[in-house]
Amino acid sequence: MSNIRLFFPKSLSINLKDKLDKSQSHYVSKVMRIKENEVFSLFNSSGEWEAKIISISKSSVEFNITKQLRQKENLKELWLAFSPIKSNYFNFMIQKATELGVTKFLPIIFDRTIVRKINKERLEKVIIEAAEQSNRITVPIIEEPQKLKNFLSNDMDLIFTDLNTSNTKIDLKKLTTKPTCVIIGPEGDFSEEEREKILKFNGVQSIKINENILRSETAVISALSIINYAIN
């Protein structure tokens, strides 16, 4: 079996016959040069499946699902709330956060946020590619940018990355079955008003992830690594 993994948004089941979209068909047949009767894998939230190529035409690849390789995952929800940043760093941050297990991205427009719009379609492609390459089954979702007030209406356990705290450890006893969400500030840090609102949130934990001031994308990787180590 090849090591090709592709996200397939439609329902998957044994003996299903369907076609890849134009982009995926080109990748499989022209880039990876997979031939008829060879196999690769397709995945979505239902699990991962082996697909056998039935036919290859100029613009499409037809396949047949032969067996299920993995069941759907029952992962703890891990969210990332963050301020949008410049494009190249943004792509890197989203990619690495996907690899580190984030299940939902929540862009926040803070008082000091510089980049206030996102290209959601482009970011979704980055997320899918990262899921394909990192052997994930679930593909994270990304929400539209929102204000801090709206974000704080979520029912979650909140990990607040705060330069002003001396605490460096997560209290696991305070984590519940709710989604665990880490919130990373903008390049100019949180305003005092924002800090006060976050600290008043029920179930928030403040944590200092480093003595140094980190770039946003570095802070994301550092915080998610700490949280993964603590909760797994």
Per-residue pLDDT tens over the stretch 56-92? 988 899 999 999 999 987 778 999 999 998 888 999 9
| pLDDT value at residue 19 | 95
Asked if residue 54 and residue 88 are part of one domain, the reply reads no
Predicted confidence band of residue 108 (pLDDT cuts 50, 70, 90): very high
pLDDT in tens, 116-129: 899 999 999 999 99
Range of the domain at 63: 5-71
Same structural domain for residues 108 and 14?
no
Across 131-146, average pLDDT: 94
Q: How many Cβ atoms are within 10 Å of 209's Cβ, its own excluded?
A: 23
DSSP state letters, 154-182: S-SEEEEE-TT----S--GGG--SSPEEE
User: Same structural domain for residues 143 and 210?
Assistant: yes
Residue 213: is its pLDDT beyond 90? Answer: no
Domain count, the chain: 2
pTM above 0.85, yes or no: yes
Residue 172 has pLDDT above 90, yes or no: no
Q: What would the mean pLDDT of 99-128 be, rounded to a whole number?
A: 94
**Burial of 217 from C-beta contacts in 10 A (0-12 / 13-18 / 19+):** buried
Q: Is 33 left (phi over 0), alpha (psi -120 to 50) or beta?
A: left
CATH number reported for the structural domain that contains residue 127 in this entry? 3.40.1280.10
pLDDT at 192 over 60: yes
Q: What is the percentage of the chain residues whose pLDDT exceeds 90? A: 72
At residue 210, the pLDDT reads: 82
Residue 212 and residue 142 share a domain: yes
114 with 52, same domain: the answer is no
**Do residues 64 and 101 both lie within one domain?**
no
Same domain, 44 and 141: no
User: In the structure, what pLDDT confidence band is assigned to residue 1 with cuts at 50, 70 and 90?
Assistant: low
Question: Is 91 found in the same domain as 32?
Answer: no
168 vs 153, which has greater pLDDT?
153
Confidence of residue 152 (pLDDT cuts 50, 70, 90): very high
Q: Kindly report the CATH number assigned to the domain that includes residue 43.
A: 2.40.240.20
Residue where one domain finishes, among candidates 48, 71, 94? 71
Structure confidence by residue, pLDDT tens digits, 10-54: 999 999 999 999 999 999 999 999 999 999 999 998 899 999 999
Which of 40, 71, 102 is the endpoint of a domain? 71
* Residues 65, 93 within the same domain: no
Measured CA to CA, the distance from residue 176 to residue 181 in angstroms comes to: 12
What pairs with residue 71 in β-bridges? 47
CB-hemisphere CA count at 13 Å for 195? 12
Phi, then psi, of 57 in degrees rounded to 5 = -115, -175
Is there a single domain that holds both residue 91 and residue 44? no
Q: Do 121 and 191 belong to one domain?
A: yes
Residues 6 or more apart whose Cβ sits within 8 Å of residue 150:
none
Tokens 């949130």 sit at which residue?
A: 201
**Co-location of 227 and 132 in the same domain:** yes
